[in-house]
Amino acid sequence: MLSWSRNFEGLPEHLTEVREFTRLVAGACDGADLIEMIASELAGNAIQHSASGGPNGKFTLQVVDCHDRWQVHVVDEGGPIVPHVCELASIDTAEELDKLGDEAEAGRGLAMVAAVSSAWGVFGDQSSRMVWAEIMTPGRVTL
């Protein structure tokens, strides 16, 4: 098992660095684009929904190669809201989408993470929390 981690300031402009770091770690492996997307979504949630996005906030990204799967962990500074997949109202017309405005985008990040990962979860409490996800790696044998 190999593991890489890095601390980031809790600012939206650092999401580019999160993606670059993840791309560097995952390289050209199968599923690298999913690993990068998950890292970006979890980091973005930490910035938007935890104390990590506040003044002097920070979060840690850890990417782990477990031979037959990859894990992405984001440790943030906690907050009052427990991360969860939002139930989204169905949108049938462009008019309904226009009425929702920014709300149409909100809440989709963890839904995407849940859809592309084999498992995900949350550990911690209001003072510190880790949100993680696993991506299975096709064609690799467990050691």
Please give the domain boundaries of the chain with CATH numbers for all domains. Answer: 2-136 (3.30.565.10)
Residue 43 has pLDDT above 90, yes or no: yes
Quote the CA–CA distance of 97 and 102 in Å, as a whole number.
9
**pTM given for the model:** 0.81
Q: What is the reported pLDDT for 114?
A: 85
Q: What is the reported pLDDT for 96?
A: 54
Q: Fill in the amino acid letter for 10.
A: G
Give the count of alpha carbons within 13 A of 89, CB side only.
9
Q: What is the mean pLDDT of residues 48-71?
A: 95
Percent of the chain, pLDDT > 90? 59
User: 143: pLDDT confidence band, cut at 50, 70 and 90?
Assistant: very low
The DSSP element (H or E) to which 36 belongs, if any, is helix 32-49
Residue 28 has pLDDT above 60, yes or no: yes
